Amino acid sequence: MDNKITVTSPLLPDLEALNEMLKEIWASKWVTNNGQFHQQLERALCEYLKVPYISVFTNGTLPLLTALQALRITGEVITTPYSFVATTHSIWWNGCHPVFVDIEEETCGINPDKIEAAITPRTSAIMPVHCYGKPVKMKRIQEIADKYGLKVVYDAAHAFGVEVDGESVLNAGDMSTLSFHATKVYNTVEGGALVMHDEQTKRRIDYLKNFGFAGETEVVAPGINSKMDEVRAAYGLLNLKQVDQAINRRRQVAQRYREALRNIPGVRFFDDMPGVRHNYSYFPIFINAEEYGMTRDDLYFKMKSADVLGRRYFYPLISTFSTYRGLRSASPENLPVATRIANEVICLPMHHELSEADVERVLSLIVK
Ligand code: T4K
């Protein structure tokens, strides 16, 4: 029997219900290119997420690329080194230069107080990440963007359904992106989306994700192919019906983790933020080796050898990878908080299928 507890597990739709939808797709013989389930999914997501316009994509990386392209971003883009590498790659793919700014400990997101010092005449955008689904300081970031005439594209890959005071975080900035990868709270196997404020932008994004085609014979820009097919749209429609239940189970797991870890010296974690609807997409803990009496890596490998597979998201920092480490802003001296946190973090198993016994097994390895 497989006794492994993995960091996550995909939320899977009911197979019979999916099969019924597959029959419809088969009967229609319309399998991709803005089919009926694709259209239904966009409408259903707008409603669920409380956003005015959305365009679904084939993964969560291409909306990042496309957002920067649509906004005609050039030169330098200020971003965080503490994320999945796709964030920075999207800047590189647009022929722009990433400029790394340090994060703040309380959210693991970009530190707004450090942004202004990184702005140059070549800066055209800021790309923050709501890391682990924790909202960054959006108001402060927008003030800086407005002051310097910069665009803001949020990588909200982790922030499905996250709200602050009843408002979706996806409505902040110029655009926000989502990932619907199998490892996310809400998934369409592979998938993603771009959220925008107006119909005209939605139309342009829909061109860009279809090679730039505007109608049958006209190509308005060098777009890419990043359309979601009907099979995954159907899967996504079914998963939308059960995502709240999955988030509720995740909340219970988070509560138990917090209760058990609250008084363990050297173990830090996040509490819920006031006014925020969290999605509990990840449960990161941060190990202070001196206080805990064991390093992060020692604990990580101890867990691993007991088949409890946490993950060190996000270690190593993006700024340490060969493509980016030569950048001036990539030096560890410029990124002291991110550098420390990347060496402290373990994301504990967090998903809807964890049993109480699983949670206790995870905790037994951490609570000494
Ligand atoms: N921006 C941010 C901030 C992101 O975090 C990501 C992706 C993106 C952009 C880009 O979005 P996408 O283009 O990926 O949609 C995973 C995911 O592949 C990636 O989507 C995610 N972030 C990143 C943080 O994590 P890995 O390499 O850690 O996944 P993997 O294959 O090791 O899976 C982790 C665990 O999940 C497995 O141990 C077991 C479980 N699992 C995984 C898969 C794929 C399953 O149970 N079933 C599965 O099918 O990257």
Tens place of pLDDT per residue across the chain (368 aa)? 579 999 999 999 999 999 999 999 999 999 999 999 999 999 999 999 999 999 999 999 999 999 999 999 999 999 999 999 999 999 999 999 999 999 999 999 999 999 999 999 999 999 999 999 999 999 999 999 999 999 999 999 999 999 999 999 999 999 999 999 999 999 999 999 999 999 999 999 999 999 999 999 999 999 999 999 999 999 999 999 999 999 999 999 999 999 999 999 999 999 999 999 999 999 999 999 999 999 999 999 999 999 999 999 999 999 999 999 999 999 999 999 999 999 999 999 999 999 999 999 999 999 97
Q: Residue type at 76?
A: E
- SS3 state at 117: helix
Chain centroid to Cα 261, Å, comes to 25
pTM here?
Answer: 0.98
Q: Are 150 and 123 in contact (CB under 8 A)?
A: yes
Distance, CA 355 to ligand 1 centroid (Å)? 22
177 lines ligand 1 (CB under 6 A): no
Closest CA to 43 of 30, 31, 56, 33: 56
Q: How many helices (H) and strands (E) does the chain have?
A: 11, 15
User: How far apart, in whole angstroms, are the C-alpha atoms of residue 114 and residue 104?
Assistant: 9
The residues facing 311 across adjacent strands are: 347
Q: Are 318 and 332 in contact (CB under 8 A)?
A: no
Strand order in the sheet with 267-269: 267-269, 283-287, 345-348
User: How far apart, in whole angstroms, are the C-alpha atoms of residue 143 and residue 192?
Assistant: 28
90 lines ligand 1 (CB under 6 A): no
The residue whose CA is least distant from atom 23 of ligand 1 is: 84
Find the radius of gyration of the CA atoms of the chain.
21
83 lines ligand 1 (CB under 6 A): yes
Strands (E), the chain: 5-6, 53-57, 76-79, 97-100, 123-127, 151-155, 163-164, 167-168, 175-179, 192-196, 267-269, 276-277, 283-287, 308-309, 345-348
User: How far apart, in whole angstroms, are the C-alpha atoms of residue 35 and residue 28?
Assistant: 10
Q: What is the pLDDT of residue 2?
A: 76
Ligand 1 atom at minimum distance from 59 CA: 15
Q: Residue type at 170?
A: L
Place of tokens 């990043």: 226
Place of tokens 């939808």: 21
The residue whose CA is least distant from atom 46 of ligand 1 is: 9
Q: What is the pLDDT of residue 332?
A: 97
User: How far apart, in whole angstroms, are the C-alpha atoms of residue 222 and residue 220?
Assistant: 7
Residue 68: its H or E element: helix 62-70
The residue whose CA is least distant from atom 44 of ligand 1 is: 182
129 lines ligand 1 (CB under 6 A): yes
Place of tokens 């994509």: 57
DSSP letter assigned to residue 352? T
Closest CA to 348 of 303, 289, 297, 293: 303
Distance, CA 84 to ligand 1 centroid (Å)? 9
Chain centroid to Cα 83, Å, comes to 9
Peptide bond into 211 cis (omega under 30): no
- SS3 state at 247: helix
The residue whose CA is least distant from atom 24 of ligand 1 is: 84
Distance, CA 158 to ligand 1 centroid (Å)? 11
Q: Are 240 and 186 in contact (CB under 8 A)?
A: yes
Q: What is the pLDDT of residue 358?
A: 98
Q: What is the pLDDT of residue 368?
A: 76
User: How far apart, in whole angstroms, are the C-alpha atoms of residue 318 and residue 320?
Assistant: 5
8 lines ligand 1 (CB under 6 A): yes
Q: What angle do CA 249, 253, 257 make, to 5 degrees?
A: 170
Residues contacting residue 290 through CB under 8 Å, at least 6 positions apart? 266
228 lines ligand 1 (CB under 6 A): no
